[in-house]
Structure 1
Amino acid sequence: MKQVYFLCTGNSCRSQMAEGFARTLLDSKWQVQSAGVETHGLNPMAVQVMGEVGIDISQQYSKLIDRDYLNTCDVVVTLCGDARDRCPVTPASVQRVHWPLPDPAQATGTDDDKLRAFREVRDEIRQGIEASELFK
């Protein structure tokens, strides 16, 4: 079985949404996990916007990088520069990809403004997974 790991700083938004999409969009040949270089808890707005597209991530939780899983992955996708820069070294057999996405948790303004930021990142993640040749 192939393995993919989605990583961001706190494993609260971007990587959680990526995990939810990958579990839904990729076939059963893929084992999917997400983690962070820190744990910040699951962001309720990430849960909300994923629910809007029919994916329930409410039972997921914020996790630290598991080096054993990381080192046996086929693909590691970092979703922010912090995760890319702080991710432990991996064996040459692990294909590393970087998708530089803004952190929707840092969005300011009204709740509608914040939700818009979450939706934009959510949609970019979905497009990235669907378009990537890595997962074919």
Structure 2
Amino acid sequence: MAEMLARKALPTTTFVASAGVRGGERDPFVDAVLAEDGLSLGGRHPRTLDDLEDDYFDLIVTLSPEAHHTALELTRSLAVDVEYWPMPDPTDVGGTREQIMAAYREVRERLKARISSRFLAPEAKNGAD
């Protein structure tokens, strides 16, 4: 979700890649909340850090404590910034489909806000929505 939101907001010249600490299956709720914003993962599937084709980054953003710890360990001897943007894990939410969707929407909106505040100039933020 974060990768697709960043790709939408940032210039096409910005390289963005997403990976998790552990592999997994594609989450249909991610597909649903991205579709609400006119976005699609297309044929993409979740990747792990080992799956990334490039290992040179200027910035790594982590969303969970486990991912943050792993990124710090991996980059200990590299000149790369690591930022932690704590996000709730929507996969932990139970209940009705609408309650689960609300949790995913909250994460989507929090990610959009963090991407905007971190990367977009004030004049660009107005056109990002």
Residue 93 of structure 1: which of 67, 79, 82 is its match? 79
Q: Cα RMSD over matched residues? A: 1.7
Letter aligned with residue 29 of structure 1: T
Superposition deviation, residue 89 in structure 1: 2.2
Alpha-carbon distance in structure 1 between the residues aligned to 2:49 and 2:33: 24
> Percent of aligned positions with the same letter in both sequences?
31
Q: Hey, what does 1:13 align to over in structure 2?
A: none
Alpha-carbon distance in structure 1 between the residues aligned to 2:78 and 2:49: 18
Aligned length: 118
Q: Hey, what does 2:109 align to over in structure 1?
A: 123
Deviations 1:10-68 (A, max 9, x none): xxxxxxx1100111111022111100111112100001001001111242211110477
Structure 1 gap ranges (5+)? 1-16
Q: Is 1:32 aligned with 2:21?
A: no
Q: Which has the higher strand share?
A: 1
Give every structure 1 segment of 4 or more consecutive aligned residues whose post-TM-superposition deviation is greater than 4 Å. none
Residue 54 of structure 2: which of 36, 44, 69 is its match? 69
Structure 1 length-normalised TM: 0.79
Q: Is 1:107 aligned with 2:93?
A: yes
